[in-house]
Structure 1
Amino acid sequence: MNAAPHLRSRAEAEAARLPPLLAQADHLAGTVLLGEHGRRRSGMGDDFWQYRPVQPGDSLRMIDWRRSAKSDAQFVRQREWQVAQSIMMWIDTAPSMQFASDPTLPNKVDRARLLALALAILLIRSGERVGLTGTDLPPRRGEAQILRLAEMFLRDDLDGELPDYGTPEARAMLPHARAVFVSDFMGDFDAVAAALAKASDRGVRGVCLQILDPAEESFPYRGRAIFESMGGGLTHDTKKADDLKDRYLERLAERQAALKDLCRVTGWLYGYHTTQHSAQSALLWAHRALEKRA
């Protein structure tokens, strides 16, 4: 059986989603008041930063004579050097991220894509280089990179089935870069720990943003229920779903505590977002958290 027509139809469907995703992400990024993201240092550059008094060792060419003429002291005109860093992103697109408990809510992967692309827009437009973990899309600057990122975010693995839960990708991490991992982090915890440890060994610091559906946060189920993973790999049938609530919430709290501790020991920051809340609040948190990792 020739799978090419099926793959082509899926690819065309994903391509049709590209303009709306870009528009939504650009609008979301526009709601965030963007400050100077790059670290400001004196050096070679085109933008004025500040004047400072002449110091021993400064050459006469460095003196700004116009500014110095206004006072009895001599001043040097310092220019701004924005250190553009590389930010590596990993967005979980495994089947578990397709879950939405209500048709009025976005599924987790759509919210993850929106937040990641909006964050990339903010970073790139402030002079940073943004790319994807692994080897598919290295960090680059410029508006063209925003389009490349959007295309990659929407490109699910068309060549085969994905496992139920995603595993963070930590290949090709640039030393001392920053990183953003967006996932529900409901899969193998050891895989998450290994990825963060590998990144930390290379001096990479970043943020883990956990995205959950409100039903995953509150477990509202009662009576007879059949729980099935989005990929169909796991199934559980129960006659008293409400009896599972306390154990489920306890396990969820344990997972979140473990993620927080893992981020703490590896120098990362942990954030938590549910899809019924504002995407803007999550974007603001991620943007500020990255600045703390600079």
Structure 2
Amino acid sequence: MTIRHTKALRRAAEQAAAPFPALLAEAERIAASVALGTHGRRTPGHGETFWEYRRHRTEDGAQAVDWRRSARGQHLFVRETEWEAANAVYLWRDGSPGMALGSKNLPLKKDRAAVCLMALASLLSRGGERIAALGETGRARAGRTGLDITARALAEGPGAAKSVEQADIVRHARIVLASDFLDPPETWGARLARLNASGASGILLRIVDPAEEDFPFAGRTRFAEPSGHSAPLVLGRAEDARENYRRVWAEHGGAITAMARKAGWTLLTHRTDRPAGTAVLALHQALAPRAMERA
């Protein structure tokens, strides 16, 4: 490998990693401001009361194996404590092409989602809770290590739908999903049903760009699908489609709201032209017994 090639790789790596420190710094600033108005969620002791056995995962390590229970069969088992089951929070930021949308002078939806979840992760970590990026970082971890691993995944991870559909989580965990939820409500209903089957509960943070909700376009306008799978749509007078568009948008939002209510999940909606701190505060409060309807 030549020196020139090495330098090129280094530059590419630095460029790829550049968004992470910036997003983390913004998230930490927001978490600090939110923390001034909230109290830590940590409770005395870590609840070492035995909860249940679960199958051993690679990331648990050999020291976590309960050898006495494992000796009864062909699989390795881990003793899961009550605190481990109740204090695990899994976070997921949608990485689909549509989340790369951002109006002028506003953040991309995926970046705002990442910042909100990273700030929430910081608050939870300070409160002694264990966190993980759903389907991307393995078991939930506490402390700075858990925060660093989770934050990097939220900023740079793929955010694939399969992470929601196939994730291996502890029972009765809490989950926060940040997305624009533009997939059909039936699709999301099936995903939440699977998570509910494990005893999980959670929050949906719906990220909306103002242009999606307001449809401010006028005159000849070209609309392109983010994935590039379909041909662009060109409207000669975009304003003529505004009324119908807003009706369809409202219907979809209503269907997502009904789906979340049926599944027993809290739905929060956040526009990227509003301060991220409002969404973080709402998320933090919604993880408590009470919930808010709109961030």
Matched with 2:141 is 140
Q: 1:10 to 1:245 in 2, by over 3 A?
A: farther
CA contact (8 A) 2:121 2:151 kept: no
Matched with 2:242 is 245
Displacement of 1:268 in angstroms is 0.6
Distance in 1 (alpha carbons) for counterparts of 2:119 and 2:254: 28
- Structure 2's unaligned 5+ residue stretches are 49-81
Matched with 2:52 is none
Matched, 1:201 2:201: no
Matched, 1:99 2:101: yes
TM-score, structure 1 normalization: 0.76
CA contact (8 A) 2:222 2:235 kept: yes
Q: 1:167 to 1:82 in 2, by over 3 A?
A: closer
Displacement of 1:228 in angstroms is 0.5
Distance in 2 (alpha carbons) for counterparts of 1:245 and 1:9: 44
Displacement of 1:220 in angstroms is 0.5
Matched, 1:128 2:125: no
Q: 1:142 to 1:11 in 2, by over 3 A?
A: same
Distance in 2 (alpha carbons) for counterparts of 1:208 and 1:134: 16
Say which of 224, 229, 233 aligns to 1:228. Answer: 224
Structure (1 or 2) with the larger CA radius of gyration: 1
User: Structure 1, residues 171-217: CA drift from partner, whole Å, max 9, x if none?
Assistant: 21321100000011112333211111111111111100101111111
Say which of 3, 6, 15 aligns to 2:17. Answer: 15
Residue 134 of structure 1 aligns to which amino acid in structure 2?
G
Residue 150 of structure 1 aligns to which amino acid in structure 2?
A
TM-score, structure 2 normalization: 0.75
CA contact (8 A) 1:41 1:82 kept: no
Q: 1:268 to 1:12 in 2, by over 3 A?
A: same
Which segment drifts farther, 215-224 or 238-247? 238-247
Distance in 1 (alpha carbons) for counterparts of 2:44 and 2:253: 35
SS class of match (1:169):
helix
Matched with 2:113 is 112
Distance in 2 (alpha carbons) for counterparts of 1:43 and 1:263: 31
Displacement of 1:261 in angstroms is 1.3
Matched, 1:290 2:287: yes
Structure with bigger helix share is 2
User: Structure 1, residues 215-265: CA drift from partner, whole Å, max 9, x if none?
Assistant: 111000112111102232232122121122122111211121111111112
Say which of 26, 29, 34 aligns to 2:28. Answer: 26
SS class of match (2:273):
coil
* RMSD (Å), alpha carbons: 3.0
SS class of match (1:223):
coil
Matched with 1:218 is 214
Distance in 1 (alpha carbons) for counterparts of 2:9 and 2:164: 24
Matched, 1:182 2:183: no
Residue 196 of structure 1 aligns to which amino acid in structure 2?
L
Q: 1:169 to 1:8 in 2, by over 3 A?
A: farther
SS class of match (1:291):
coil
What is the total number of aligned residue pairs between the two structures?
249
CA contact (8 A) 1:15 1:151 kept: no
Matched with 1:268 is 265
Q: 1:240 to 1:111 in 2, by over 3 A?
A: same
Matched, 1:36 2:40: yes
Displacement of 1:41 in angstroms is 9.2
